[in-house]
């Protein structure tokens, strides 16, 4: 038996104000994206914003449905919009934030496994890593560079070919 250990590293900033101007701007877009969250069931609003190499910003927000599995996370709403409309303009960074009136969010909210898998697919497709900024409105901001930090056992299409 061989035991392996995987270490990941990410940066924590005490506040979004410690980020550079472009990343602060992207976080503000993620906050604005929450306005269009359709979350009557969870009352948990999530906003995502992608910054593309051209400077273009793409927004996504969680879209829930009375038939619960039909809804989609903010990250995949933004990422699939990118894939469908701007696939040749690489994603530089993605900011994700969340808010609920139900309780205080004191730590950044991380993306779900399905969104990370979609991010992995697109990182692989564009050939460059995406900086993910997990921004908490009242608390620390985490910056993660590249999907392999986030999801070390991610599934790539090579695995489909044996």
Residues taking part in catalysis: 75
Residues 104-133: x/- map of binding to Zn ion (CB under 5 A)? --------x--x------------------
Cβ proximity to Zn ion, 24 vs 142, nearer residue:
142
Token pair 């910054």: residue: 51
Binding string, 28-67, against Zn ion, x = CB under 5 A? ----------------------------------------
> Is 33 or 115 the residue whose CB approaches Zn ion more closely?
115
Question: 33-59 burial, b for 16+ CB within 10 Å, e for fewer?
Answer: bbeebebeeeebbbbbbbbbeeeebbb
With respect to Zn ion, which residue has the nearer C-beta, 57 or 109?
Answer: 109
> Which is nearer to Zn ion, 51 or 76 (by Cβ)?
76
Q: Is 144 in the site for Zn ion (CB under 5 A)?
A: no
**Interface with Zn ion in residues 64-93 (CB under 5 A):** 73
DSSP string, the chain: ----------EEESSGGGS-HHHHHHHHHHHHHGGG-B-TTT-EEEEEEEEETTS-EEEEE-B--SSGGG-B-HHHHHHHHHHHH-TTS-EEEEEEEEEESSS---SPPPPPHHHHHHHHHHHHHHTS--EEEEE-TTS-EEEEESHHHH-TT---GGGGG-
CB of 150: closest distance to Zn ion in angstroms?
A: 12
Question: Shortest distance, CB of residue 76 to Zn ion, whole angstroms?
Answer: 6
> How many positions of this chain bind Zn ion (CB under 5 A)?
3
Nearest residue (beta carbon) to Zn ion = 73
Site for Zn ion, rule CB under 5 A: 73, 112, 115
């Amino acid at each position: 038996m061989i035991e392996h250990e995987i270490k990941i590293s990410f940066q924590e900033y005490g506040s979004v104000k410690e980020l550079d101007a472009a990343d602060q701007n992207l976080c503000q877009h993620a906050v604005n994206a929450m306005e269009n969250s359709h979350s009557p069931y969870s009352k948990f609003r999530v906003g995502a914003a992608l910054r593309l190499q051209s400077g273009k910003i793409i927004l996504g927000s969680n879209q829930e449905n009375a038939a619960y599995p039909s809804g989609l996370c903010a990250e995949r709403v933004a990422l699939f919009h990118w894939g469908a409309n701007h696939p040749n303009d690489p994603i530089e960074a993605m900011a994700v934030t969340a808010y609920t009136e139900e309780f205080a969010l004191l730590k950044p909210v991380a993306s779900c496994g399905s969104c990370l898998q979609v991010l992995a697919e697109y990182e692989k497709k564009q050939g460059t890593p995406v900086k993910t900024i997990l921004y908490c409105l009242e608390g620390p901001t985490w910056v993660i560079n590249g999907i392999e930090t986030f999801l070390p056992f991610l599934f790539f299409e090579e695995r489909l070919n044996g």
